[in-house]
Amino acid sequence: MSKIKDAQMNVILDEATKLFFEKSITNVTMSDIASEIGVGEATLYRYFGKKQNLVIKVAERLSSNLLEKYFSFSNDKNGYENIKEFYEAYLKIFIDNKSYYAFVYSLDAYLHNESQLNLDLYNVNIKKFKDLFISSYQKGIEDKSLKDDIDLNLFYRTTAISLLSFCKKLAIEDILIEDKDSNQQLEIKQLIDLFLFRIKQ
């Protein structure tokens, strides 16, 4: 793909991401995105074929960006410190860009209602989160900073899904209702502390 086409695709993805964050996936049409960019709707279909492909491309790019920005850990730290950073990355994302979790919430609903989607690259990116967790935990077993009586696959699935689901719930609640008694960041931190208490050696 030429540099010009790459640049135009990035503009489309940027605008689509912005609109998906603001309005949710189902409430945004290809026409909306084209109108915001100032191009014909046919241009979007030429690049992506259909809205579903554009949605998946946005999700792929977001997951790649999150991995690079929030999940790059130092080799100088022990396994426990890396796992702690892994969980705390969820909180940092919530603080920096709460709308991401609202997007994931709408993405889950969208994918549930769509069929025949090519999720290969998206799933590859999602697996990278698990691989990072597993390798960090194994490092913690070796340096004796983490307990070795954990089923890593089960623990990752349970804690990562719980944390992601909780962040999505809080992000949606923040949009729908205003709870003045809620301290969302502290609530997420307490959940993380529970996970860490279970595994710290």
pLDDT tens digits for 98-114? 999 999 999 998 888 87
Residues in the chain: 201
pLDDT number for residue 112 = 83
Domain boundaries, the chain: 1-49, 55-199
Matching residue, tokens 């209602």? 113
Q: Which residue has the higher pLDDT, 123 or 176?
A: 123
Phi and psi angles of residue 111, each rounded to the nearest 5 degrees, phi first: -65, -35
Mean pLDDT of 123-140: 94
Decide if pLDDT at 175 tops 60: no
Q: Distance between CA 69 and CA 76 in Å, rounded?
A: 18
Nearest to 129 by CA among 98, 104, 161: 161
- With a pLDDT cut of 90, the percent of the chain lying above it is 77
What is 55-199's CATH number, 3.30.1050.10, 1.10.357.10, 3.40.50.970, 1.20.1530.20?
A: 1.10.357.10
- DSSP helix/strand/coil, 200: strand
Mean pLDDT of 79-102: 95
DSSP 75: T
Q: Taking a C-beta distance cutoff of 8 angstroms, is the pair 111, 48 a contact?
A: no
pLDDT tens digits for 25-71? 999 999 999 999 999 999 999 999 999 999 999 999 999 999 999 99
Quote the pTM value.
0.89
Q: Taking a C-beta distance cutoff of 8 angstroms, is the pair 141, 79 a contact?
A: yes
Instruction: Provide the token pair at 68.
Output: 């690079």
Q: Distance between CA 98 and CA 75 in Å, rounded?
A: 29
Instruction: Provide the token pair at 49.
Output: 């074929």
Q: Which fold has domain 1-49?
A: Arc Repressor Mutant, subunit A (1.10.10)
Decide if pLDDT at 181 tops 60: no
* Beta carbons within 10 angstroms of residue 148's beta carbon: 13
Q: Taking a C-beta distance cutoff of 8 angstroms, is the pair 20, 61 a contact?
A: no
